[in-house]
Structure formats: structure tokens, C-alpha cells
Structure 1
């Protein structure tokens, strides 16, 4: 996952920026356009980080659902059932 999520995010960023130049979905601010390095360098970094967070959340939910479905039960036959905590007894 440490290699897959950034790779997918960067590829997604390249696709989004390419389609944005064709379709004009959103305007990239002039502050994010760099004349020295690559023109859309800062925009690529920001979009990649956002996509990394989104992919992380998606994989987190998928993992949680699969664990919930396929994991063994929390308590087996040999476990003692948990005691319910009722709090401290108060004397009146």
C-alpha cells in the first residue's frame, strides 16, 4: 500500500490535469504555476496529496468491511464472556 497509493494518486493527477486542459473543469490559480520548474509542479503535488488521502480512506473502508466479513468471531467457545461494568456502588 505504501507504494500503490502514491503511484495511483500520481497517475490520477496526470489524468486529471490532462483532461482538465481539454475539458476546462477548473481553473488552476497562477500561484500554482511555476515558470522555473515544471509548469504545474505545485498543482501536481497538491492534487496528488488529496488523491492519496482519498485512496487511503477508500482502502481503509474496504479493509474494515473485509475484516468484518471474514474475520473470526471476537470470542470463541473457550473465552470467558466479558463482565459488564456497572460502576462504583454508592452508599446513601
Structure 2
């Protein structure tokens, strides 16, 4: 079974938006020090399945425990904003 990856434009037309998350985590050897990690992907609001999948991965695989997560979501294009242009007019 072959799965096809959607292009960024196809994802945006299906309702995906760019999600940027800033993860604050504690350094394992220095628990009083917070560090940050910035992560970006296309995700679906309001459930954010990709973001929560990444947070679960972090909690299970990364030694630095999460302190907090701050994120933003921006739809870059909506289905009504895109149209197929089949011609071009040139003015001299």
C-alpha cells in the first residue's frame, strides 16, 4: 500500500495552516535552566493532531522534561482565496 504525501498547497487548500510551537524544557543536568525549541508544521485547527503527536513523542523519547508549550496557528490560504488562472493578458 502506497501513501501519497500532500504538497504544502494541497494541505492549505484542505484547511491546514502553519502551526509554530515554542517548547520550553528543562535541561536534564541543570533542572533550574530552561531552554527553548521551536517546531513548525502544517496542522489542522482546532484539534492539532500533529502538534500533540510531537508533544507525545517528546515526552516519551526526549530526556528534557517539558515546562510549557506556546503555539500559534495561521491559515495561509483558504479554499475561497485560490483560483485557477488559465490565461494571461499582456499590455505593452
Task: State which structure, 1 or 2, has the greater radius of gyration over its C-alpha atoms.
Answer: 1
**TM-score normalised by the chain length of structure 1:** 0.23
Q: Greater relative contact order (Cα 8 A, min sep 6): structure 1 or 2?
A: 2
TM-score normalized by the length of structure 2: 0.23
